[in-house]
Structure 1
C-alpha cells in the first residue's frame, strides 16, 4: 500500500505525530486528498531549523515544525490539527487582527511584540518577532497563513537593563558636586551635568558648542579660550582657572577646568572628558598668602627675628603652612601643620627645630621629606599631591605647593610649604572615572552585541538555505531539474557566506590583500560598463578623470568591490534614476577625517557623487558600522560601507562623506599615490604566455585540520595528482628534505600550530627558489598585515577550478623562469 505521507521528510517528532493522526474527520480530509501546495509547504517547514507554523483550510488547522514545539508549552499535546484560534485563545485579541490581515493577502512583519503566552499554564510575558505570510493553494487563492517566528525576550530585557544601568550612572554624575563635561575633538561641548545650569543659570542646551563661555567673566574669556585652543591643537591636558557668574548671588566665583583626551587605537583624539570644580576659597587663600609673603618680604630684615610674626600670619589660614631655612630649620609653622605632624610622628615641631632631626626615628619618611624640601630650598617652585600617614587609617590627601622665601633685598632665605586638603576632590574624580569606565564598558558591550547579532542573523539565514537544500538532495527520487536547482542554491549560498566573511574582515582591516600598482584613472575608464550593469540604464555615469597618470598600490579586486558598493548605495539613494559622477583628483592631501590627523600625501582622491535623497545628520556618524543600514528589510545587509572603510584604512587611506538631505551625497575615497611601476620585459607584453602542458604532479599538502585535509587531498587526487599530506609545517619540512626532488609543488595552509605557512614557504623558497608554493587561508593576521610575502594565495572556501588554476599559474611561471618544460606525464 502506498505511503500517504511520503512527501514528509524522514524523522522528527512532529512528522511522526502527523503520520499517526487520523485526518479523515477534519475539514481538510485524509492526506490522499491534500493539495500539492499543502504538501510542499509542510515538507519545507518540517525540514527547517527555524520555528514556523502553518494554519490551513477553512478552520485554519494548526501545523508546526519541531523548532516551534517549545513555544506551545502546555498546549503541545492538543495543538496539532486543532483550529488556530482555539490553540492561541489566550492571546487572540493581540494576534487576531494579524490573522485577518494575512488572510486578506497582506504580509505582516512585527518586531519585539510583547505577548502573554502562558506556556506553563500561568501568565508569562515574552517578546517575539513574527513574519506572517498568506499561504496560497493551486488556484492562487489564500488557503491559510504561514508564520516564521523568533523569540527576542533576552535582547529586549538586555536593552532594558542597559538603559537602567545608563540611568544609574547618569544620576551618579548629576550628584557629583563638580561639573563633569565632554567635548568633541574640535572643542564643541556635547554633554555636561545639570550642576552647570544650576550655577550659571543658563538654559538647557545653551552651554553646548561654545555657549558655556557666555557664563565666564569677560576679562577671563580671551585667556581661557587661548589655553583651550592650544590644548585642543597639541593634545596636552586642559588645566585653566576662570571666573563664572553665579546666578543665585550675581557674584563671580573662581573655577578650575581640567580635561584629558580620549584617543582611538590610531592615537587620534575622539573626545575630551573634563570636570569643573569650585576653587574660589582656595584662590582667595592663595591670594592672601601671596599678600602675606609680599608683606613678609618687605618687613623681614632678619628672618630669625620675625619668626613669631610669620607664625601669627600663618594662623589666618586653615591650610598646613611651614617655612624652613636652607639648613632645614623651622622658620615658622602654623597650628594646623604642627597638629598634623604630631599626629603622624608623635613630636610637635616648633620654630628653630631641625625638621630632619625630628624624623630621625622614621628614616624612610625622613629621606622623602628631605628630597622634597631640597627641591624647594634650591629655588624650585612646584606642586604635588601626597596622602599623609598610614593608608589603612585613611589619612587625607593634600596638595602641596612649595615657594621660595626671600628677604627684602630679594635674597632667597628658605622656602615655605602651603598644603590644602584635596581628599574630597580626589574622591569625586575617582567616582567620575569609575562612572566613565562603566559607561564605556556598556557601550562596548552594546557594539559587540550589535555585531554578533548581525553576523548570527545573516549566517543563520544562509545556513537555513544550505540545510534545507541538503535535506531535499537526500531524497532518492528527486527530479534532476530540482536537484540541479538545489545544488546551485548551495553553491550560491557558499559564495554569499564567503563574501560576508570577506566584508567583515575588510571592515576589521584583516582581509588578506593582493596589492598591485596600477593607474587609477585608467582603471576607472575601464569599469564604466561594469557600473552601468550595476546601476541600470536610467542612471547616467559621468567620469571626470585627469589626463595625467595617477598610480596607487592597492588590491584591484577590493578596489572594484568598494567602487561597486558606493555605486549601489548611490543607485538606491536616487531610486534608480539620476546622475552618478566619478571625479578623480591627484596629488591631494589627506584632510582630518572623524578626528583623525591628516597627512600631506600625495593621495589620489576619488569622489563618488549622487543627486539622491542624501543622508540625515543623525545617521552620518554610524553609516560605516557593520550591519547598520537605513534601507528597508531585504534591501541591504549593512556591510557595503564597512567594506569600503576597511579597504581604505588597510590600504593606507581613508574615506570621507558629505551629505545634505534632499541634495545628494558625496563619498571621497583617499588612497596613497605611488611611483609608476618599472616597465616589464617585452616578452610579458608582446608574447603570449606559454601554457604549461597539463600533467600529473606530486604535491605536498600541509593542512592541520583533518576534515579540510581529507577534502583537499581528495580534490587533488580527483584532478589526477599524487599527494603527500603533512599535518604540520615541521613534518612537512622533514618530509620534503627526505626526498626533495620528488615534489612538483607545495599547497599549504597559513594558520597552523607551531610554525605557520608563511614561515614554511620562506624556508622552502630559501633552499629551492624555483619550487612552486601556494598558500591557502580563510583568515590570517600575518597576511592581513604583510601583503608582500610573495606567494600565490587561494582563499578559503576554494573550489576545484580555483586550485587547478593556481597550480597551472605557478607552474607556468616556473617554466618561464627555468627555461625548460616539466617532465611528468599528463593529467589534471
Structure 2
C-alpha cells in the first residue's frame, strides 16, 4: 500500500472517528431531550389527573362503537371523575354502555354526542336525565384525532335551579291573578264593612280612630252631635260631655287591655236619642302579638230588646192565664170532693145532735163513724193536694229501694189480683237514695193500681230498679241535672196512653177513668212527691202497647239505714200531772181540742194564741216540759222562730210542731234540731197522745 493510499485511509478513519464522536454527542443530546419530554409528559399527566379528579363538575370521556342499531350507535364510558356520581346520580359508570344504563333515553344522548363526533363542533345544552330525575347543564367536544371516536363531556346538576325557575314561572303566571283577586277581596271586604248595618270602629291605645265605617260615624253623630273621622281622639271629641266620655272610656279600656267581650248597654240622652247596642269588642294585634289597638262591631238592639220585653210580658200573661185556668180546675175539683165530704160531716153532726135531743143514743155511733170517715177522706184529699204542690211534710232517710220493693211484693200481688203476673227485677249493687220511704211505698202502690186498671183482662206488671248515670243529654231529656240517679220503673202490658193523655197525666183531677173510679189525684200526688224529693217522673207509653212509669231519684252518698219502727200506741199510759205543756195556736178550736185531749191524758196545759205571747211565757220562770206549737202563727213570729228563741234560754226544751202543710223554709226540709218533731194536721187524738208520750218518756228534766 503506497503512502497516498495510507494517508487517504487515515483521513477517512479520522473522519469516521469525528462522525462517530459527533453521532455520540448527538445521541446524548437526543436522550437528554427525550428524558425532558417524558418528564414534562408525566407532569402534564399528573396535572390532568389532579384536575380531572378535583373539579366540582362531572366529567367523562365516551367512546363510540358500532352497535346493534348501526354504526356508531352506542358508546361506552371510558373515563369518569368522582363528581360524575354526584351530579348524574349514577355510580361506577366506567365501562357501562349508554343503552344498558338508560335504555329508554339512550337514543337521544347518542344523537347529541354523535353529532359532536361527526362534525367536531362543540355544543352546550340543558337536558333532564330522566332515569335519575336530574336536570343537567352540559358541554361536549370531540377528542382529537377524530379516529379515536371519543367525545369529552363536562356537566353539572342544576335541578334546584330548574325547580326554582319553575316555581318562579308559576308565581309569575299566577301573580297577576292573585293580585287582582286580593284587590277584589279587599274591595269586597271594604264594601261589606262600609255597607253593613253594623257599626265598625277600630281605635289605637290612645283612643284615636284607626278606622270607622260610615254607619258608625253617622250613629256617633246622631247620638253625640259630632261626626268623627280617622285620626280623631274619641275622648277629646266628648270633652264637653263627660258622662258619655267616661262610659265610652270604660268600655274601650277593657278591650285595649286585651279583653274580648260582648256587652249590651245604652248610650245617648235618656228619653230622647238613647239607644241600646250589642257591642262585641276584641283586641287588635300584629303578627308578633303586639297590641295595636282594639276593634268593635256594634248592633242597635233597641227594638229587639223591646220585642223581648213584649214577649216576656206576653209569656207572663200566658203563664198567669194558665195558672188561673189550673187554679180554676183545681178549685172545681176540690170544691166537688170537699162539698161531698162536708155534706157527710155536717149531715152526720146535725143528725147526731137531733138524735141526742130525741134521746135516741143507740144511733149515735153510726153518725159519729160517718163523720169520722168523711173527715179522714178529707184529710187524705188534703194530703194528696199537698203532695201535688210539693208542700207535704216528708221524713227523708237513706233507703234501699231493692229492700223496699221486695218488702211490698206480696202486697202488690194481692192488690192487683191473680189475673196479673207480677215480676220484680232488682239491680245488683243498687245505690241508696234519700227518700221518705212510706211516701214512696204509697207512690209505688198507686202506680201498681193504675197499671192494674189498665189491664182489665189481665197481663204482666214489672217492677224494676236500676242505677242511672245521666249525662248532660240524658239529664236534659228528663229535666234533671246531670249526675247519678236510682230509677224505679213500673211497666204494664195494658192499653197504653195517647200522647195527649201523657201530656196531661200529672194535672190534678185529670183522669180517663169512669166517674166514681178515680179522683185524678193519684199521679199528681206521685209527681209532687218525687219532685219535692229532688227527682223526676217520666211516662213512656204507646196506645195498645202498654205503659212504663219511671221515677228517677237522686243517689244518696251516705249509708242506707233501716227505717225506724212505728211508734207504739200508748193510750193506756197516764203520766202524773206534774208535766206542763205549752200549746201555741191561733185557732181557738184547735187550742181547745189540744188542751182537752192533753188534760184528759193527765198533763197540765198552758195556752197561748200567738208567738210573742208564748215567748213571754217561755221566758218566765214557769216550768215547761214540752212546747206544742203551730208552725204558721200570726204576729210576725212563726212557730220555728218561737222555738229557736225559746231554746236560747231553754236549750233542752222539747218541741212538737203541728202544721197543716210543710213549710220547709221554716222546718228545714225535715232536718230538725234534737228533741224537735213534726206532726201533720189533721191528726187523731190518739196519734197526738202517742207522739207526746214518746217525747216525754225520755226524760223529765224541767225547762
* Contact 2:610–2:633 (8 Å) recurs in 1: yes
Work out which of the residue numbers 326, 331, 338 in structure 2 matches 1:459: 338
TM-score normalized by the length of structure 2:
0.60
1:753-792 equivalences under 5 Å are 753=634, 754-761=636-643, 773-781=655-663, 782-783=666-667, 785-790=669-674, 791-792=676-677
User: Equivalent of 2:528, from 646, 657, 666?
Assistant: 646
Aligned partner of residue 271 in structure 2, secondary structure: helix
- Equivalence map 1:159-558=2 (5 Å): 294=186, 327-329=206-208, 341-342=220-221, 344-349=223-228, 353-374=232-253, 389-394=268-273, 425-475=304-354, 476-477=357-358, 483-517=364-398, 519-545=400-426, 552-558=433-439
Unmatched 5+ stretches in structure 2: 1-181
Structure 2 residue 690 is the aligned partner of structure 1 residue 809: no
**Which moves more between the two structures, 498-507 or 333-342?**
333-342
Show the counterpart of 1:565: 446
- Correspondences of 1:688-699 after superposition (within 5 Å): 693-697=573-577, 698-699=579-580
Q: Which residue of 2 aligns with 1:89?
A: none
Paired position in structure 2 for 1:605: 487
Question: RMSD of aligned C-alpha atoms?
Answer: 4.5
- For residues 389 and 549 of structure 1, what CA distance do their matches in structure 2 show? 62
| Cα distance between partner residues in 2 of 1:547 and 1:314 | 64
CA distance in 1 between partners of 2:304 and 2:649 (Å):
67
Helix, strand or coil at the partner of 2:461: strand
Counterpart CA distance in 1 for 2:216 and 2:476 is: 54
What number of residue pairs does the alignment pair up?
508
Q: For the Cα contact (< 8 Å) 1:691–1:812, is it kept in 2?
A: no
Kept in 1: contact 2:399–2:562 (CA 8 A): no
Following the alignment from structure 1 to structure 2, what is the Cα–Cα distance between the partners of residues 477 and 547? 67
Contact 2:571 2:690 in 1 (8 A): no
SS at match of 2:497: coil
- Are 2:677 and 1:796 aligned? no
For residues 399 and 415 of structure 1, the distance between their equivalents in structure 2, rounded to whole angstroms, comes to 16
Select 1:583's aligned residue among 461, 464, 469.
464
Q: Secondary structure at the match of 2:538?
A: strand
Equivalent residue for 1:667? 549
Change (3 A) 1:666 1:319: closer
Q: CA offsets, 1:677-707, max 9 Å, x none?
A: 67999xx99xx99999523433322323222
Q: Write the mapping of 1:608-757 to structure 2, written as runs, cut at 5 A.
A: 608-671=490-553, 672-673=555-556, 676=559, 693-697=573-577, 698-700=579-581, 701-736=583-618, 738-739=620-621, 743-753=624-634, 754-757=636-639
Distance of aligned partners of 1:787 and 1:631 in 2 relative to their CA distance in 1, 3 Å threshold: farther
Partner Cα separation in structure 2 for residue 430 and residue 764 of structure 1: 48
Q: Does the residue aligned with 2:504 lie in a helix, a strand or coil?
A: coil
Report the Cα offset of residue 799 of structure 1: 1.8
Deviations 1:492-539 (A, max 9, x none): 111111111111222222211234455544443443443345334444
* Residue in 1 that maps onto 2:103: none
**Change beyond 3 A, Cα 1:477–1:540:** farther
Per-residue CA shift, 1:264-295, capped at 9, x if unaligned?
Answer: xxxxxxxxxxxxxxxxxxxxxxxxxx989946
The residue matched to 2:424 in structure 1 has which SS? strand
In structure 2, distance between residues paired with 1:619 and 1:488: 38
Find the aligned partners of 1:317 and 1:551 in 2 and give their Cα distance. 60
Shift of the alpha carbon at 1:650? 3.0
Cα distance between partner residues in 2 of 1:354 and 1:409 = 26
> Are the aligned partners of 2:204 and 2:210 in contact in 1 as well (CA < 8 Å)?
yes
Q: In structure 1, what is the Cα distance between the partners aligned to 2:476 and 2:290?
A: 55
